[in-house]
Chain A
Amino acid sequence: DIVMTQTPSSQAVSAGEKVTMSCKSSQSLLYSENKKNYLAWYQQKPGQSPKLLISWASTRESGVPDRFIGSGSGTDFTLTISSVQAEDLAVYYCEQYYDTPLTFGSGTKLEIK
């Protein structure tokens, strides 16, 4: 199984600050035939179901604010929130869908100071 490692486990920032969080996979998620990275980012707010923010490592889903930026390739990925808002309080998970079983990272909890 592909192991997904997220760091940090939690992070506290003030509104308006930039935040970055990391996700590393135990094997490459880059499929050579289509040059796509099979990596997604989810946001889970307290008491809610997870919401898909980014797929293919860097493609924002419809309606996701452009302050959410996904980057990276291969085994190293980053989610950046360029200017954190109070409503971004949530746990963020990365997920690989390169192979079954699909696997998630353990999450980064974002707290607002």
Chain B
Amino acid sequence: QVQLKESGPGLVQPSQTLSLTCTVSGLSLTSNSVSWIRQPPGKGLEWMGVIWSNGGTDYNSAIKSRLSISRDTSKSQVFLKMNSLQTEDTAMYFCASDYSGDEYWGQGVMVTVSS
């Protein structure tokens, strides 16, 4: 059974760095890509970036300078780090992956940027 679960701090101060973890089960990170998507409260979806099965990454150009996605295949974890957070980065953060023709999303983690 494929599952993805996001974890991280619920509150981050402005200008600080956000660190999130996506823990996956039921699939291999060396065979499947994992994407990060975020959604500000009451707004639409924004694709942030992806780490491919070969470890390569692609990022949304709008936030590329602040974003880093990495992984630890031995722990089945994917990491998101984004620096210089501002209030507009307040959002629900999701990770998602494809496996065997189906797409799976985590439940999301709410991150609030506030002092």
A residues lining the B interface (CB < 8 Å): 1, 42, 44, 49-52, 61-62, 93, 95, 100-107
Q: Is B108's CB under 8 angstroms from A101's CB?
A: no
B residues lining the A interface (CB < 8 Å): 35, 37, 44-47, 49-50, 58-62, 94, 101-103, 105-108
Cβ of B76 to closest chain A Cβ, rounded Å: 19
Cβ of A20 to closest chain B Cβ, rounded Å: 20
Name the B residues within 8 Å of A100 (CB-CB).
50, 58
Interface of A is mostly: loop
Given known contacts A49-B108, A100-B58, A101-B58, A61 and B47 CB-to-CB distance under 8 angstroms: no
A-B contact pairs, 5 of them (CB 8 A): A42-B45, A62-B101, A102-B35, A104-B45, A104-B46
Q: Is A50's CB under 8 angstroms from B44's CB?
A: no
Name the B residues within 8 Å of A42 (CB-CB).
45
